[in-house]
Amino acid sequence: MAVTTQNLASTAVRGVQWTTAATVLTAVMQIGYTAVMARLLDPAAFGLVAMAGVVLRFGSYFAEMGLGHALVQRTDIDADDVRATFTASLGLGLAVAAVAWLAAPLAVLFLENKAVIPLVRVQALGFILVGLGATATSLLRREMRFEAIAKIEVAAYVLGYGGVGITLATLGAGVWSLVVASLAQQFFAAALNYAVARHSLRFIFRREPYAKLLGYGSRVSVVGFLEFINGNLDTLLIGRLLGSVLLGIYNRAYMLLYLPMYFLTNSLARVAFPAFSKIQDDLPRVRALYLTSSTLVATVVLPVCAGVAVAAPELVQVLLGPRWAASVPILRVLCLSIPLSMTTLFAGVVADARANLQQKIILNLEFMALLGGLFWLLKGYGLAGIAGAIGTGEVVRTFLYMRITHRDIDIPYLRLLAIYKPGLLNAAAVGLGLLVVAMAIRPLNLPPLLALLALMAAGAVVLGVVVLRWPSTELRPILQQGLGKLRGMRALPASVQPSLARYTDFLDRRPGVLAAWDAFEQPLVP
């Protein structure tokens, strides 16, 4: 059935609403989970799990082989495609789990810590659980049933991490509470996904359906594997050269910022991939969706990271505790690299949807060489050097993705740079505003929680003012739509209506402060 513009747009909007709600809730729970577990476990436990996670993520790309991705990207599928995806996903999951179990001692050659061997072996069971649920998850994504996906993800997180993980940590299970929590979450996710998207569990061994899926899926797997190496060079290097304690400190600083940001942007990316796949040959619509999505992400992520950089001491003190003070400078350096990696997500999604995977492979090889060289040059500066290398590398990778997007969907470079304009303006306002507030309240020696709440309130006010007073071109239609719904509410007091009407009129006019950027805003190539 052909997908109309209106149907796709409304489905995508609902998908973004559900995935955003789920990811915000999951991010809040992740912060709470991190705060609780950081007080129940020592840094070495997190460092050991991070080491084991690197080894297991290495195997995950061979376990998946991009089959689920291919099931979503293809314009048409049949029952044999579904059976082939399930058969291959489960078979690969079993095979990789067995290899990981047998080869776990080899991890010591890279990480120089024998304690990771049993962790790798037990966590390898997750490959089987993921293989069981991968097909159902892909079918839900293909059908853009994001309401069901959102509810399943929240439920699996609550049951796995909140229920199993915290309970075991409280009972004194130590590092194993982290391991079992991860497996429990994977089990609940697989079971619930299949309960919603039931499909045939019959195996199929004919070559034809596999050939159609593996041609695309194998290239996705190669890209994912290269991205895995690039994304984990820091963990491998810190674990080998600086030890598990410093790795634990770095890992908590990284996750404290990365996970909430990733959850927020990934919710958009997950909706965008099936949406881009459905319109992959309609270049004007692809360009419009890419520019809008990327600009909105930059508008939110950049000012949030600016605020985190200023409030880092209070944030670490409240969420992680006094033992983690060494992560403050690392967190500040990462406030540059992580927002850039978030804003390039959609460039990667467009390349995936349009099967432009060869260019992604070349980009990741270039980035790997660059990152390796930066690590070598800056390794003598410890954790700060590693974080600085990542930040520099992300700046370069942003421009590499611009090159791919320009060549593939023909957007001018100046228009690609303009994506960051609203976010940079908002980040400058939030950063300066919070810096003034921080300089005022820190001499008062307020309790860390009270100081953090004051900084968060100030950041929210500043961001709200700049977003509402100077909304970007991409944000203005969203605000107009929200105002229309708000003004239509019967419960809304009549005294509020004149203010809303004035603001609606204001949105209909282009704010003058943006006129200076007109030369920077280049029209799209038709």
Q: What is the pLDDT of residues 105-142, one digit of tens each?
A: 876 666 666 778 888 889 889 999 988 998 999 899 88
| Domain assignment present for 172 | no
283: helix, coil or strand? helix
Same domain, 396 and 289: yes
Q: What is the pLDDT of residues 242-274, one digit of tens each?
A: 666 777 777 777 777 776 676 666 667 778 788
- Split into its structural domains, the chain has a count of 2
C-alpha angle 388-391-397 in degrees, rounded to nearest 5: 140
Listed range (74-78, 232-236, 272-276, 369-373) with the worst mean pLDDT? 232-236
Cα separation values, 512 from 295, 516, 518, Å? 19, 8, 10
Same domain, 465 and 490: no
| Domain assignment present for 371 | yes
pLDDT at site 7: 61
Query: How many CA atoms lie less than 13 Å away from 356 in the CB half-sphere?
Result: 22
Same domain, 459 and 476: no
Same domain, 346 and 414: yes
Residues in CB range of 143: below 8 A, 6 or more apart: 197
Q: Domain range for residue 495?
A: 471-510
pLDDT at site 24: 77
Residue 76 and residue 242: Cα distance in Å, rounded?
50
Same domain, 284 and 321: yes
Is 3 a residue whose pLDDT tops 50? no
| Domain assignment present for 370 | yes
Same domain, 368 and 338: yes
Residue 71 and residue 139: Cα distance in Å, rounded?
7
Same domain, 478 and 422: no
Residue 287 and residue 473: Cα distance in Å, rounded?
15
Same domain, 485 and 408: no
Residues in CB range of 236: below 8 A, 6 or more apart: 54, 110, 111
